[in-house]
Amino acid sequence: MKKLLVYLSDYKLESILGPLFKLLEASFELLVPLVMAAVIDNGIGQSNRGYILWMCLLLVGLGIVGLVCSITAQYFAAKASVGFSTKLRHALFAHVQKLSFSETDTVGTSTLITRMTSDLNQVQSGLNLALRLFLRSPFVVFGAMIMAFTVDVKAALIFVVTIPLLSLVVFGLMLWSIPMYQKVQAGLDRVLGITRENLTGVRVIRAFGKEQEEIRRFSESNDALSRLQLFVGRVSALMNPVTYIIVNLAIIAVIWVGGLQVDTGVLTQGEVIALVNYMSQILVELIKLANLIITVTKALACARRISAVMETQSSMEDNGTTVPAQAEEAIVFDHVSLTYKGAGAESLSDISFTVRRGETVGIIGGTGSGKSSLVHLIPRFYDATAGRVLVDGVDVKEQPLSSLRSRIGIVMQKAVLFKGSIRENLRWGKQDATEEEMLHALDLSQAREFVDQKPRGLDERIEQGGKNLSGGQRQRLTIARALIRNPEILILDDSASALDFATDARLRKAIRENAGGTTVLIVSQRASTVQHADKIIVLDDGEMAGIGSHEELLESCPVYQEIYYSQFPKEVGV
């Protein structure tokens, strides 16, 4: 939590004024029992109506001043806590954006969402309550004890015994609760992860009839979380009744001792009532403190989880300073190997090849052969664990990430569109793209035909993830988004898998005829998609099984032969 408090630095004044005004309110509250004692002894006891009226006006005045102080404290506490959470949320989001794919894969998307929403809201609520009550409640508790000593020392000794006993209960439960609430939040992560998996993969789950199995898996995690929450809630709920029992026993003791003191003339009836009121104030404040501690305990657990993300450093340092000029060799893989974080074996092993500027290169292989892993090394989504990847003759690790990625257009294997218009989605590729540039990109990607059929054209709304489009339409729009920036290197990572063969052929022809000096890498499992490339790289279980033209590979590469002849009749290749 200490590391996160730096985001409270701009709200130092509010963080001081909030508790200060709460202490002022508490000071006025501590005077109320003394005023009531005076009303009973001097007003009611002596039937002095004028004195009673005067004391009642004083009580109203104390109430109004206390209300103003309380509202002011609420304002400053809210301003500080909301401002703190806003800055922290910005910082957390910016930090997550800087994490490499490796860290994002390790931490998990569902966990990051929980940290940025539920956890951060808990921290905000905890800070708000802490600024308002963390000083006020102890101040009232000990202030009431001190005020009790000004009334009667013997009766005040009951306060001396009661307060440590109450503190033991409250803080003992707090120390027990902190690790338990951390387990609750971890369980919430698991439930959220399963929920996210089911929502994103709902079609696959239904296709394979796994609904009941997923319902059972969710129910098990949800029931485990519910049991843990109920257990923690039951133990935490003990705080209120236990404190009530202790304080009420103390009140009985005060009335007993006070009654004896009244009989002997040491105390007045009003002073006994004042002592009872002080004990009641302690009860109310300790209940507040108990609820505060529960909230702060949750907030501290959540703050540790947020800190863990903030302390996660990207394994990919952006320290590059070299911005290369265009070289004849656009891409060079020099004995490159890749092992994913936590993986037991290499995903790529000793890959070496060169791609000249303007070439079209096909990358083919079976599922899991490392095709996507290979192309993800070029824009430096992952760092090679051995060897070097050079773009324009310079190691990608020596280039600024912004400069490197600005020259590369990549269409991921999974087509991702954002909620908004087609125009807004295309401008992700180029912020200042003109309508002519958009239409040209749509023409090249073969998306113009269905965009023109939309009632609003480029302003047609797209739902989140492109849910209102077919798979092929989504893929063509993501290709258009990459083409609109006119990249030096264009990577199509199996991005035409949902297209029919005719549309795929038109797409490849359009890119080839309009590529100019663009270097194109096409990842596919279709032999027809890559067979017209200048060279084809064949991968098999993370290793390069062959490289060459379509004709050369048909003669010399068994892996390519197997892929090709599994898709075309043997006679076609003869």
Q: Long-range contacts for 144-149 (Cβ within 8 Å, ≥24 apart)?
A: 144/30, 144/278, 144/279, 144/281, 144/282, 144/285, 145/278, 145/282, 147/30, 147/33, 147/34, 147/274, 147/278, 148/275, 148/278, 148/279
Cα dihedral sign, 551-553-556-560: negative
C-alpha to C-alpha distances, 411 to 21, 78, 535, nearest whole angstrom: 57, 44, 20
C-alpha span between 141 and 451 (Å, rounded): 70
Higher pLDDT, 60 or 504: 60
Residue 1 is predicted with a pLDDT of: 61
| Tokens representing residue 341 in the block | 């974080």
Q: How confident is the model at residue 515 (pLDDT cuts 50, 70, 90)?
A: low
DSSP 52-80: HHHHHHHHHHHHHHHHHHHHHHHHHHHHH
- The label of the residue with tokens 């197997």 reads 562
C-alpha span between 523 and 514 (Å, rounded): 19
Mean pLDDT of the chain: 86
Residue 44's identity, in one-letter code, is: I
Q: What's the residue count for the chain?
A: 574
**What is the pLDDT averaged over residues 233-237?**
81
Helix (H/G/I), strand (E/B), else coil: 476: helix
C-alpha to C-alpha distances, 384 to 330, 341, 379, 545, 547, nearest whole angstrom: 18, 11, 11, 19, 21
Cα dihedral sign, 80-83-87-93: positive
DSSP 371-416: HHHHHHTTTTSS--SEEEEEETTEEGGGS-HHHHHHTEEEE-SS--
Residue 549's identity, in one-letter code, is: S
**What is the pLDDT averaged over residues 181-202?**
84
Do 240 and 290 meet the contact criterion of CB atoms below 8 Å apart? Answer: yes
Q: How confident is the model at residue 346 (pLDDT cuts 50, 70, 90)?
A: confident
Residue 573 is predicted with a pLDDT of: 43
Percent of the chain residues topping a pLDDT of 90? 19
Residue 429 is predicted with a pLDDT of: 85
* 348 burial type by CB count under 10 A (0-12 exposed, 13-18 middle, 19+ buried): buried
Q: Which range scores top for mean pLDDT: 306-315, 408-417, 546-555?
A: 546-555
**pLDDT tens, 347-401?**
999 999 999 988 899 999 888 888 989 999 999 888 898 999 999 888 898 888 8
**pLDDT tens, 67-91?**
999 999 999 999 999 999 999 999 9
Residue 165 is predicted with a pLDDT of: 85
**What is the pLDDT averaged over residues 288-313?**
83
Question: 324: which DSSP letter?
Answer: P
Q: How far apart are the first and last CA of the chain?
A: 70
Q: How confident is the model at residue 218 (pLDDT cuts 50, 70, 90)?
A: very high
Helix (H/G/I), strand (E/B), else coil: 438: helix
**Range scoring the smallest mean pLDDT among 86-90, 177-181, 295-299, 553-557:** 177-181
Given a cut of 70, is residue 571 above it in pLDDT? no
Given a cut of 50, is residue 101 above it in pLDDT? yes
C-alpha R_g of the chain: 35
Higher pLDDT, 315 or 205: 205
C-alpha span between 27 and 30 (Å, rounded): 5
Do 344 and 503 meet the contact criterion of CB atoms below 8 Å apart? Answer: no
C-alpha span between 274 and 42 (Å, rounded): 14
**What is the pLDDT averaged over residues 433-456?**
88
Q: How confident is the model at residue 572 (pLDDT cuts 50, 70, 90)?
A: very low
C-alpha span between 85 and 16 (Å, rounded): 17
Q: How confident is the model at residue 535 (pLDDT cuts 50, 70, 90)?
A: very high
- Tell me which residue of 449, 462, 450 sits closest to 423, measured CA to CA: 462
C-alpha span between 61 and 462 (Å, rounded): 60
Question: What are the backbone angles phi and psi of residue 311, rounded to the nearest 5°?
Answer: -85, -10
Percent of the chain residues topping a pLDDT of 70? 99
Q: Which range scores top for mean pLDDT: 278-287, 323-332, 482-491, 500-509?
A: 482-491
**pLDDT tens, 398-428?**
888 888 888 898 888 888 888 889 899 899 8
Question: 427: which DSSP letter?
Answer: T
Residue 367 is predicted with a pLDDT of: 84
**pLDDT tens, 124-171?**
998 998 888 888 888 888 888 888 888 888 888 888 888 888 878 877
